[in-house]
Structure 1
Amino acid sequence: MNRPHTRHSRKRTFNPTSIGEMKRFLGLCILQSHVETPNIRKLFTFSDPLYYHPIFNHCMSGRRFEQLLRCLCVYEGNAKGINKVLDFANHMITIFQSLYKPHKQLSLDESMLLFRGRLSFRQYIKSKKAKYGVKFYILTSSDGYILNFKIYQGKTETSIDIDTETSSKSKTEKLVLNLMQPYLYLGHELYMDNYYNSVALSDKLLSCMTHTTGTLRKDRKDNPKDVIRKVLKKGEHVWTRKGKVYVSAWKDKRIVTMITTQHHPRMVTTRNRFGKQITKPKEVEMYNKYMSGIDLSDQMLAYYSTPKKTVRWYKKVFFHIFDMGIWNAYYIFRKHCNEKETMLGFREHIIRYLLGFDNLTCYNIISSRKPTNPRTSNNSGMTLPNSNQGSSQEGASSQLLNTHWPEPIPKTENCKRNKAFLKCRLCAKNKIKKETSYRCKGCTSKPPLCPGCFEQWHCQAENID
């Protein structure tokens, strides 16, 4: 409010919002992910039949929606950087963990949220579909329920140690222990890729009654050299034991190095996705079976993604976490209430609840909108009134048109001209600099209009008020 605004800026007057309006706002944000449009204002059009969706204008105006979206924030005071979303993220994590207790197998991996704007901790991962953006470290169940996550904050981020014993550990080990903190000493099995795994981390997690299985990088510290340097032929499998940790190597198309504290390395017979019998190590089979939790959650979030293009990264992160909450809610609903419910149907139920339109029909929405010019209703995407609807509607429409006539713009006290001039509303909309001395007599906003623009302005249904 302290910034300078133009004379007709919508930021000069902001009406206080309410819980009901914010529910409608969030409902429209979720619905927006189901409808593809070039920009937000296309969703609120009355005149363009290509993008006409009456539910949006029935809930709120396009300007009000943009106002709420512009002022949206989930932080207190003058927070900067990651603190703009940190409190909201921690609150959502607490809800996730309180609503569901996972099974034995857990998976940990990173996920990317697409963002190409300026950001100090923006990451690039070549193997991800969204190569640029905000990186999330996510802990999920083996079938995709999101249990815990952490947003990457850059090289200068500070990790909170669980106890004094972790103060000398690497950042990767601290990250895994922090994400696993609510699930230590419960007998879980954790599956990770080679970015996280090491012999020291497996020892530490095993002392916390948590087993690990996953791929291993050859250059990790404390790796057994007799297995790492072994030259293998195709199908050959070797392993060794270091303390309570097994490290194995197996060559298929290339050499795969594995680490596990749960499964004794041995060759087993299994079937691939085509039903063909193949032989592979036990630890590889279990890793392929339980490591897909993050991929499944990313797949479900990508179907209907609420985040839209914006220069403010924290809003995109907010809506991404909001989508995580919807996916977790759908996961629990499908698991305990209705196995046949689809993700789209579940999101539609949420939208109807937030908008408060459980029993609303298309006829109620269209009939409740403001009347339009019947001569241009075909161009505005609205249905022309039937002849059997009576002459009362025709009389109302003609009466509406008869009230819209040009009148001279009244002069102000200090005006030295013979007439008062203002910028034509339609010319300004078309980016043309032109002034006029006439305005509409019937419109409540009294828009200044050129005589040549008068008919074209009122042929647009959204401009009649």
Structure 2
Amino acid sequence: MCLSIFTSELDSCVDNNEITDEELSDDEDNITKGKDFFSVIDNNPSEENIVTNELEIENGDSFEFILDNTDINFSNIIEPVEPVVIAVTTSTQTVNLHDISGPSNNIKSPSSKKHKNTSKKKKVDISQIRRKWKKITVKTLEPDYSLPDGPVDGKFLGETATSIFLEFIDGFIDQLLYQTNLYSIQRGRPLNIKRFEILNFIGINFLMGYNKLPSWKHYWATSDDLNVSCVSNTMSRNQFDNILSNLHIQDNLLIPKNNKDKLFKLRPLINFCNEIFSTSYHGTRELSIDESMIIFKGRNCMKQYNPQKPIKRGYKIWCLSDQRGYIKNFSIYQGKDEQLSDEFESFGLEKLKAENSLACGTIRSNRKDVPDLAEDKKAPRGSSDYRITNTGIGVYKWKDTKYVMLASNYHGSEITTVTRKDNCGRKKDILCPQVVRDYNCYMGSVDHADQLRTTYGVNRKSKKWWHRIFWGLLDIMFVNSYVVYKQIHGSITLLDFRRSVTQGLLTLRELPISNKSQSTSTPKNKGPATKKRRGKEWSVSKDIRLTNRGIHWPKFVTNRGRCEVCAINGTQSRPYSKCSHCNVFLCCNDKKNCFADYHDIDCS
């Protein structure tokens, strides 16, 4: 299932949807109280082949919906056969995959008494409104969009690739470090792991994603065909094994006796990720919700099988993504929730529209409350039929190679075209409803995020079931930092970005106490900027060169080498001095100080 969302502002979401007192009084007997949201069906359908689950609304007295809350919640959606599309229209509204609740059943029914003042709004229980489906001409809503795009308040401007990634994960490292050390103490083998070692550990695992060897132990092999020197120089194999075996997020002693949260071990990380993802980046207007999979072939009650996904077995995650692949929110599926199992079996589009949430998506033809639409197996390609209620809810049926059915609460009756190939492979335009074109345009962003996550992702078997989810969430965090970096600094390949982040994490070291606050910060501008010749680049990435202030020191050696700053500027210089951390030759004397220029941000 997939949902596409866009945010904007509407003057009113219930235009032309007013009910008079007389209609409420006449139709109240036909309303069955206590039913689920929009579950009342007229036993005597009209001649127009209409399922009546809603009161016919005429111009007259206005009314307002009574809602329990104004948040959209998708924590346990029953997936339709095909993806579904949703649009959020309130500029201040946030979509939370953990707060999704079914329609309210604690709403008072509309009063049957007549009032003299007909201009006064009357509160109507939308769960008891009956629909009348009609084939009428309606225009598609086109709400304005006012939210900004990109990082929140310029949060990531001017940062390196490593610094952007650390902006996402830095707030959780202390929790991970504390729980890992605590677990090692509980096992009777205290490790006293330091903060930079955890980051080195994560960097090594990122490197294993794009530089694959048969086993993680081979990265410390001494043979020339297996050894990876940057890994063995960063951390010993025993220390890596100790961190891996003691890695922990939640204290086991805090698990309640009647624990029903299957993700208790990962709950702090899940909550942290959802908060940092939603508060760090605005995203595009169009968003989509779809299910994603984290591969897992072991035994676990949360493991799902989905033959329609590239990863068919593993943990299922509902993701809210923008069109660039940035995951704004997610919810890991833990099993069926009986209270919310009918979220998409009943028609909740009126409730979404009342919450200023425009939605469209594919549905099954056998869902309740869905009207009967024309179906002719011999009909030509591009044939369509639709019905629209007086509250603006539409159901559309369109034939491509097969029939597909969609529902929307903001589309009208417009017809457009899409490009398809015929039997001979020639492209041609065929007619389709506007809802089909919009749906196909915005439905694939979660799949795009999955593609970025699984390419060079951490894909290693583990004896612990939750390790797969842990590395999957860190890969999502990495993809989000990649999307932010691309928007700020322009195009960069996924491999180059992953290498930059990995190199930055591998070179992190413990700094002197006075410089710890600058460990991940970008150095300030000091001294004149050095111009860089066009087409030339530094041999060391800025994730290494511009970070770890306090461990870059000039070192004097017996052999001479060409100064990298002078080489970029086209001058000849062969000094005896080099940087102890970057391992490149740099001039450092009374005539010129290329060492300072090389580690200055303006040189980048």
| TM-score of the two chains, using structure 2 as the length reference | 0.49
CA distance in 1, matches of 2:227, 2:374: 63
Tell me: CA distance 1:20–1:333, structure 2 relative to 1, closer, same or farther (3 Å). Answer: same
Deviation at 1:15, TM superposition (A): 2.8
Partner of residue 183, structure 1? none
Letter in 1 for 2:469: V
Partner of residue 60, structure 1? 235
* Residues 1:344 and 2:469 aligned together: no
Question: Larger deviation: 75-84 or 86-95?
Answer: 75-84
* Residues 1:304 and 2:450 aligned together: no
Relative to total residues, which structure has the larger helix share, 1 or 2? 1
Asked if 2 retains the 8 angstrom alpha-carbon contact of 1:199 and 1:223, the reply is no
Asked if 1 retains the 8 angstrom alpha-carbon contact of 2:319 and 2:446, the reply is yes
Partner of residue 385, structure 2? 238
| Secondary structure of 2:458's aligned partner | coil
CA distance in 2, matches of 1:307, 1:44: 19
Deviation at 1:142, TM superposition (A): 2.7
Asked if 2 retains the 8 angstrom alpha-carbon contact of 1:214 and 1:259, the reply is yes
CA distance in 2, matches of 1:284, 1:231: 20
* Residues 1:317 and 2:469 aligned together: yes
* Residues 1:50 and 2:225 aligned together: yes
Partner of residue 329, structure 2? 148
CA distance in 1, matches of 2:324, 2:420: 19
Partner of residue 404, structure 2? 256
Partner of residue 15, structure 1? 191
Once the two structures are aligned, what percentage of the paired residues are identical? 27
CA distance in 1, matches of 2:503, 2:427: 43
| Secondary structure of 1:304's aligned partner | coil
Write the mapping of 1:349-364 to structure 2, written as runs, cut at 5 A.
349-356=500-507, 358-359=544-545
Deviation at 1:116, TM superposition (A): 0.8
Partner of residue 154, structure 2? none
| Secondary structure of 2:407's aligned partner | strand
Partner of residue 267, structure 1? 415
CA distance in 1, matches of 2:416, 2:317: 35
Asked if 1 retains the 8 angstrom alpha-carbon contact of 2:457 and 2:475, the reply is yes
Partner of residue 37, structure 1? 213
Asked if 1 retains the 8 angstrom alpha-carbon contact of 2:387 and 2:394, the reply is yes
Asked if 2 retains the 8 angstrom alpha-carbon contact of 1:248 and 1:265, the reply is no
Tell me: CA distance 1:132–1:241, structure 2 relative to 1, closer, same or farther (3 Å). Answer: same
Task: Select 1:333's aligned residue among 485, 507, 517.
Answer: 485
Asked if 2 retains the 8 angstrom alpha-carbon contact of 1:213 and 1:287, the reply is yes
Tell me: CA distance 1:232–1:145, structure 2 relative to 1, closer, same or farther (3 Å). Answer: farther
Deviation at 1:276, TM superposition (A): 4.2
Tell me: CA distance 1:108–1:270, structure 2 relative to 1, closer, same or farther (3 Å). Answer: same
Letter in 1 for 2:413: P
Give the gaps of 5 or more residues in structure 2: 1-186, 509-543, 547-604
Deviation at 1:143, TM superposition (A): 2.9
Deviation at 1:267, TM superposition (A): 2.2
Deviation at 1:53, TM superposition (A): 0.6
Partner of residue 368, structure 2? 221
For residues 180-238 of structure 1, the C-alpha deviation after alignment (integer angstroms, 9 at most, x for no partner) is xxxxxxxxxxxxxxxx5x6622122111101111111111111112x176767123211
Partner of residue 121, structure 1? 302
| Secondary structure of 2:328's aligned partner | strand
Asked if 2 retains the 8 angstrom alpha-carbon contact of 1:112 and 1:136, the reply is yes
| Secondary structure of 1:59's aligned partner | coil
Partner of residue 138, structure 1? 319
Deviation at 1:275, TM superposition (A): 6.3
CA distance in 2, matches of 1:172, 1:305: 35
CA distance in 1, matches of 2:383, 2:431: 11
RMSD across aligned positions (CA) = 2.3
CA distance in 2, matches of 1:131, 1:268: 35
Question: Larger deviation: 268-277 or 252-261?
Answer: 268-277
CA distance in 1, matches of 2:342, 2:317: 14
Higher relative contact order (CA 8 A, sep 6+): 2
* Residues 1:210 and 2:393 aligned together: no
Task: Select 2:290's aligned residue among 109, 114, 121.
Answer: 109
Deviation at 1:305, TM superposition (A): 1.0
Partner of residue 377, structure 1? none
Asked if 1 retains the 8 angstrom alpha-carbon contact of 2:361 and 2:439, the reply is yes
Deviation at 1:268, TM superposition (A): 0.8
Deviation at 1:50, TM superposition (A): 2.1
Tell me: CA distance 1:270–1:154, structure 2 relative to 1, closer, same or farther (3 Å). Answer: closer
Deviation at 1:170, TM superposition (A): 3.2
Deviation at 1:14, TM superposition (A): 4.2
CA distance in 2, matches of 1:74, 1:110: 25
| TM-score of the two chains, using structure 1 as the length reference | 0.63
Asked if 2 retains the 8 angstrom alpha-carbon contact of 1:271 and 1:277, the reply is yes
Deviation at 1:69, TM superposition (A): 0.7
Tell me: CA distance 1:244–1:170, structure 2 relative to 1, closer, same or farther (3 Å). Answer: farther
Asked if 1 retains the 8 angstrom alpha-carbon contact of 2:398 and 2:433, the reply is yes
Task: Select 2:279's aligned residue among 70, 75, 98.
Answer: 98
Letter in 2 for 1:21: E
| Secondary structure of 1:240's aligned partner | strand
Letter in 2 for 1:116: K
CA distance in 1, matches of 2:348, 2:282: 24
CA distance in 1, matches of 2:453, 2:367: 34
| Secondary structure of 2:252's aligned partner | coil
Deviation at 1:140, TM superposition (A): 0.9
For residues 73-102 of structure 1, the C-alpha deviation after alignment (integer angstroms, 9 at most, x for no partner) is 111234473111122111111000001113
CA distance in 1, matches of 2:505, 2:464: 25
CA distance in 2, matches of 1:245, 1:199: 13
Partner of residue 193, structure 1? none
Partner of residue 26, structure 1? 202
Letter in 2 for 1:208: E
CA distance in 1, matches of 2:193, 2:243: 8
| Secondary structure of 1:200's aligned partner | coil
